[in-house]
Amino acid sequence: EIYALTSSYIKVCLSIEVDGNPWKVIEFLHTKPGKGATFVRTTLRNYATGNQVEKFFQAGSKIEEADIVKETKQYTYKDGAQYVFMDLSAYEEYHLNATDVGDKTKWLKVGMDCNWVFATQILS
């Protein structure tokens, strides 16, 4: 379930959606300047690309919590161009292309537990 929050609820490790992309809050600071409105300065990391940006939110502005799911799968083997992972709780296999796994293919070892992060696609 996705919740609408206000900027006063921003905290480290919160997953929020900005411009249609899921971001993780790395740092935040509530700031009240001498003149003007209060704002929240954040450092965000994009779940899909890993890029970090600094973003400012006006006090009381609405933000949307990102719909993020985290699961652990075990890397079992490579089948041609596909990487095969197993959900050990349900014993289901998942086949992913190299483009889905990204540059993380060079670190995969058989039997390794891998953390999957989902939004509308596999993010890492």
What per-residue confidence (pLDDT) applies to 84?
Answer: 94
103: enclosing H helix or E strand: none
Map residue 104 onto helix, strand or coil. Answer: helix
* pTM of the full structure: 0.65
What per-residue confidence (pLDDT) applies to 60?
Answer: 86
Fold of 4-65: SH3 type barrels. (2.30.30)
Look-up of token digits 């949307």: 64
- Where exactly are the structural domains of the chain? 4-65, 69-118
108's CB contacts (< 8 A; 6+ apart) are 75, 83, 101, 114
Residue 7 CA neighbour count, 13 Å, CB half: 18
DSSP labels for 12-67? Answer: TT-EEEETTEEEEEEEEEEE--SSS--EEEEEEEETTT--EEEEEEETT-EEEE--
What per-residue confidence (pLDDT) applies to 123?
Answer: 52
What per-residue confidence (pLDDT) applies to 56?
Answer: 94
Q: Which CATH superfamily is domain 69-118 in?
A: Nucleic acid-binding proteins (2.40.50.140)
> Which parts of the chain register pLDDT below 70?
1-3, 119-124
What per-residue confidence (pLDDT) applies to 122?
Answer: 53
